[in-house]
Structure 1
Amino acid sequence: MSYKLLFSALLLLGVFLFTTEMPYAQEQGVPSDSLVSISLKDGTTLTGKIVHEDEVSLKVVTPAELEVEVPRSSIISIKPLRGRMVEGQFYRFDPNYSRLMFAPSGRPLRKGEGYFFDTYVLFPGVAWGFTDNFSLMAGLSVVPGVDFGDQLLYLAPRIGFQTSDEFAMSFGALYATADRDAVGIAFAVASMGQPDKSFTAGLGLGYTKLEDEDLEFGDHPVILLGGNVRLSNSTALVSENWLITGGDFEFGNQPFALAIRFFGERLAADVGAILIGEVIEEGFPIPWLSFTYNFGR
C-alpha cells in the first residue's frame, strides 16, 4: 500500500476540519435546547439554556430554573457545553465516546467531529466523521530507530448507526501494513445502554495479506465484550476483553483489559492494564496508556 493513500486521507481530514469548524457558538447560532456557557464582560460566566433572543438581549434559564435576561452588549462569547444536566448538576460528555480502549464502541463518530489519539506515545493517529454514519481513521507509528518506510501504517473506515439513545452499531475494518505485508480485522460491534453506563459486544474476523499472496481470512472469529461506567464528572471505568476462539482456545491466553478514563471537555486519557493469565504468571500485567483529543463541532 502506498504512503500516498495515507497522506491523501490526512489531507482530506484537514480540509474538512478547517472548512467546517468555527470557534464560537455565537457565530454559528445555538439551538434553543442546548446548554451554553456565556462569558460576560464583568468576568462572570452564566450557564443555562437560551429560551428567547432578540437584537438587544438573550433570555437564559439556569440549571436552578432562574430566568435571567442578558444584554447582548455585556456578552463576550457564547460557547456550547458538551454535556447534559442531571438533577440540576452538569455532566460533561466523554470526549472518547466512540471507542473503548483499543476497539471501537457501537457509537459512530458524529459529522463534523474528529479526534487525535496516541497509544503508548508510539502509535498516533487521527479520525474524522464525514457524516453521522461514516468516519475514517488513519495513523502512522513513530517507533525510534525504525526507518520511515518500515513504520506501521493503519487505516480504519467505519460505518455506524445510532438507532436510539440506548442502542448503536458499527461495521468496519482495520488495515495495518509495514514492509508490504498487511494484517487486519473486519468487525461488527454494538453498544447498549446510556453513554454513562453501557455494554458493548462485537465480532471480528482477522485477515492477512502477505506479499505476492491472496487475502486470507482466519477460520475463527474473535469475540469482543466490554463496556463503560461513569464514576464522576471527569472519570469513568472502561473494560475491553477479547475471546480468541478456535481449536487452541485457552482461557489463560485471553486478553482482558481494564482502565480508568480521566476526561475533560475535549481531552481523555486512559490508564490501565491488559491482563493475560500466562503473562501475569511470569511477572506483571501489561500496562495500557493512551490519550484522545476530540476536536470539531
Structure 2
Amino acid sequence: MKPLYSLLVLLLGLGGFFAPQKAAAQETTSSQIRVLTVSPIVGESIDKQEKITYGLFPFYSFDDFREARFIQRLTPDSSITLQATMLDGSIKQRPFTINDFRAVRVSIEARQKMLSATPGFGTARIGMPDSLGQMYSVELRTGTSFVGRLVAQRAGEYEFQTTDLGRITVQRANIKTMQPLTSDQAGKGWEPVGNGTRLFFAPTARTLRQGEGYVQDINIFFVGANYGITNNIAIGGLVGLVPGAGLNILAVTPKVGVAVTEKFSVGAGVLFASVFGETGGIGYGLGTYGTADNNVTLGLGYLFADGEVESSPVVVLGGATRISRRVSLLNETYIVDGGFGGLAGLRIAAARLSGSLGILYGTDGEDGIVVPAYLEVTYRFGKVK
C-alpha cells in the first residue's frame, strides 16, 4: 500500500476537513420586536441592489453592504432601529426617529416615480440587475472589454464612466456580459479567472458554479477535467498516459461544497484511482476561507486501498493570493507521518486560459528537496463569470 500512498499524496494530493463552528447568534424573539416595512416597493428586507437603486443609507458603503431592515422594539418608547448586515457577516444598528423613517419612504417613492418615467426602465435586462453607481467589467460582442461605473441608462443604451476612455455610451444590444465588481477588484483591473476551486493538485472547499468547467494538461502526460453539475456538486477525472506503457492512471473525483458565509465554505469528496493496476483513493473534507482571488484552505484526508484505511491522516494547508491582474501566488503543503512536502509557485491567468508552474519541496530522510515538478495549462469552458 505504501507506493500507492506516496503516489496519491505527492501526485494527486487532496485536502481535508476544517469547519470552525459559527458562534451562536443572539436571538431576539418575535414577541420583543417587529419588522417594519418602510415601503412596499422594497418590502421588509432592503438588499444591496435596492440600496443603490433608491440611493439609501449613504453612511454604509455599497461595497460592504448586504441587506438591511427596520425593526421596532416593543418597549415603552417603541424605538425604531435600522439593522444592517454587512458582507463580512457583521451587524450594524442605527437608531431612526419616526420622521427619519418616513423620510426614507418618501425618498423611495420619489425615486420610483423618476425611474418609472425613464424610457427603458423595467425592460429586459442582460442577465443581471444593473445598478447606477456600480462598477462593472463589461464585455462587448465584438470581444472588446473595459471597466467602468454605470452612471446612466436610457432606452436601449448604457453610459459608463471609465478611467482611460472617459464617458462612453454603449448600445444595450452590443453588450455580451456585465460583471459587477467590488472596489478592490476594479482597482486591480480585475477580470474573472475562475472561482478559486483548486490550488495546484489540491482542491479548495469552493465549488465550480453550475455550467462552469475546465480541462487541463499536467506535466504533458496527465489530462484532467472538472464540471459543475450544480452550484454545490462537481465531478471530475484524471487520466495519465505514459508512452509505451498503456493506461497507467485513471481517477474519478466527485466533490460537494457549501458556502456557510460569504467567505467561508466547507466541502468533502473522494478521489478513487487505479494506479499501475492497484486501486485506492482518499476520502477528504475541506474548509476554505476567503474569496476566489485570495483564500486559505485547511483539510484532512484518509487514504484507502485493498480494503484498508491508513490510520495516519494526510493534512493539507494551502492558499492563493492574487497579486496583479494576471498573476496569483499559490502554495499547498501536505503533512503526513511526521514529514511534509508540497508545491509552491504561481499561476498566470486570463478569462479562459491559464498556466501554472510549481516547485516541489519537502523532506527526504534527513535532507530536503527542492525541484521543479509541476507545469500545467488549463482551459475554462461554459460559464466563466
TM-score after normalising by structure 2: 0.58
Q: Is the 8 A contact 1:279 1:285 kept in 2?
A: no
Extract unaligned runs of 5+ from structure 1.
1-25, 210-214
1:107 counterpart residue number: 206
1:255 counterpart residue number: 341
1:194 counterpart residue number: 291
Give SS of 1:273's match.
Answer: strand
Report deviation, 1:82: 8.7
Tell me, in whole angstroms, the C-alpha distance in 2 between the residues paired with 1:238 and 1:101.
7
- Residue identity matched to 2:336: I
Extract unaligned runs of 5+ from structure 2.
1-123
Q: Is the 8 A contact 2:251 2:274 kept in 1?
A: yes
- Residue identity matched to 2:196: Y
2:364 counterpart residue number: 278
Report deviation, 1:217: 1.1
Structure 2 counterparts to residues 8-19 of structure 1, below 5 A: none
Q: Is the 8 A contact 1:95 1:268 kept in 2?
A: no
Which of 206, 224, 229 is the equivalent residue of 1:125?
224
Residues 126-184 of structure 1: CA deviation (Å, up to 9, x unaligned): 1110101000001221211122xx33111001000122222111100101114653121
Give SS of 1:105's match.
Answer: coil
% identical aligned pairs: 26
Report deviation, 1:29: 3.0
Give SS of 1:164's match.
Answer: coil
1:7 counterpart residue number: none
Q: Is the 8 A contact 2:362 2:370 kept in 1?
A: no
| 1:261–1:280 Cα change, 3 Å | farther
Give SS of 1:141's match.
Answer: strand
Matched, 1:153 2:250: yes
| 1:116–1:272 Cα change, 3 Å | same
TM-score after normalising by structure 1: 0.74
Matched, 1:233 2:331: no
1:35 counterpart residue number: 136
| 1:276–1:163 Cα change, 3 Å | same
Which of 216, 221, 224 is the equivalent residue of 2:308?
216
Tell me, in whole angstroms, the C-alpha distance in 1 between the residues paired with 2:236 and 2:357.
22
Q: Is the 8 A contact 2:196 2:293 kept in 1?
A: no
Matched, 1:56 2:148: no
Give SS of 2:364's match.
Answer: helix
Tell me, in whole angstroms, the C-alpha distance in 1 between the residues paired with 2:219 and 2:232.
29
Residues 93-151 of structure 1: CA deviation (Å, up to 9, x unaligned): 3426100110101111111100111211111111110101000001221211122xx33
| 1:282–1:178 Cα change, 3 Å | closer
Number of residue-to-residue matches in the alignment:
256
Tell me, in whole angstroms, the C-alpha distance in 2 between the residues paired with 1:123 and 1:82.
36
Structure 2 counterparts to residues 18-29 of structure 1, below 5 A: 29=127
Choose 1 or 2 for highest CA Rg: 2
Q: Is the 8 A contact 1:59 1:67 kept in 2?
A: yes
Matched, 1:116 2:202: no
